[in-house]
Amino acid sequence: MVREGFRALSMRKLADAVEYAPATLYLHFENRDEIAQELCARGFKELWSALSPAASIADPVERLRAAAERYVKFGVSHPETYSFIFLEDPKITSAVLRGKPKEGGEQSFRLLAGALEELQAQGRLAQGAEPQRLAEVFWAGLHGLVSLKVTCADFLQTPSEVLSEHMLRTLLGGMLLPDQAQPSIQASSS
């Protein structure tokens, strides 16, 4: 799948790769899409494993910063997994995100949304800010950066860490009240 992509994967190729008879695969999986969903769910768990250390950071701004750094690092260092869970087939990803249990993907999103909800509860978010929508925008920005790095690396010459920091500074600058920003955010935006 890494070499040829998911679209080229067949039950026969998979059976050959794991040295099983094709019929044996059907004892465990109904079809190729079910295998794809399992692989996608495992990819989301890997993403959560990369992000989860950020969940223990007390300050929500620093938590967002750490989550962003870890998200970008995961995507850029695991391009096949990232591409498969986010770029390969939206039907597969949607099925996994709608399914039970919702490990990995939902946990990762809750990390972002939870930090933004805390900022709102602390009175640090700009007036009218909606934590859920901000989390979606935050994720979309990270996803865009990683997607471009993974699919057309020559397009973005700036290192992903630098782009991530600039994006984070811009997003947080728009989300947070000016007098509520952390010193590290204020200093880095000068």
Q: Where are the domains of the chain?
A: 1-30, 40-188
CB contact at 8 A, 120 and 129: yes
Say whether pLDDT at 183 is over 60: no
Q: Which of 89, 101, 106, 92 is nearest to 51 (CA)?
A: 106
CB contact at 8 A, 179 and 125: no
- The reply to whether omega before 101 is within 30° of 0 (cis) is yes
Give residue-wise pLDDT tens across range 12-40: 777 787 788 877 877 777 787 888 888 88
Give me the count of residues in the chain. Answer: 190
So what's the pLDDT on residue 8? 72
Q: What φ, ψ does residue 125 adopt, rounded to 5°?
A: -90, 150
So what's the pLDDT on residue 91? 87
Compute the average pLDDT of residues 158-176. 87
Give residue-wise pLDDT tens across range 136-159: 999 999 999 999 999 987 777 888
3-state secondary structure of 125: strand
CATH for 40-188 (3.40.50.300, 3.20.20.100, 1.20.1440.230, 1.10.357.10):
1.10.357.10
Q: Which of 131, 135, 104 is nearest to 119 (CA)?
A: 131
Give residue-wise pLDDT tens across range 59-77: 999 999 999 999 999 999 9
Please name the residue ranges forming H helices in the chain: 11-18, 22-28, 32-51, 60-77, 79-83, 90-98, 105-121, 131-151, 160-175, 183-188
Q: What distance in Å separates the CA atoms of residue 48 and residue 42, rounded to the nearest whole number?
A: 10
Q: Which of 69, 77, 87, 76 is nearest to 5 (CA)?
A: 87
3-state secondary structure of 108: helix
Instruction: Give the end-to-end CA distance of the chain in Å, rounded to a whole number.
Output: 45
Between 183 and 95, the higher pLDDT residue: 95
* Rg, Å, the chain Cα set: 19
* Burial tier of 133 (Cβ tally within 10 Å: 0-12, 13-18, 19+): exposed
Taking CA 93 as the corner, what is the angle to CA 88 and CA 96, rounded to the nearest 5 degrees? 150
126 DSSP 8-state letter: P
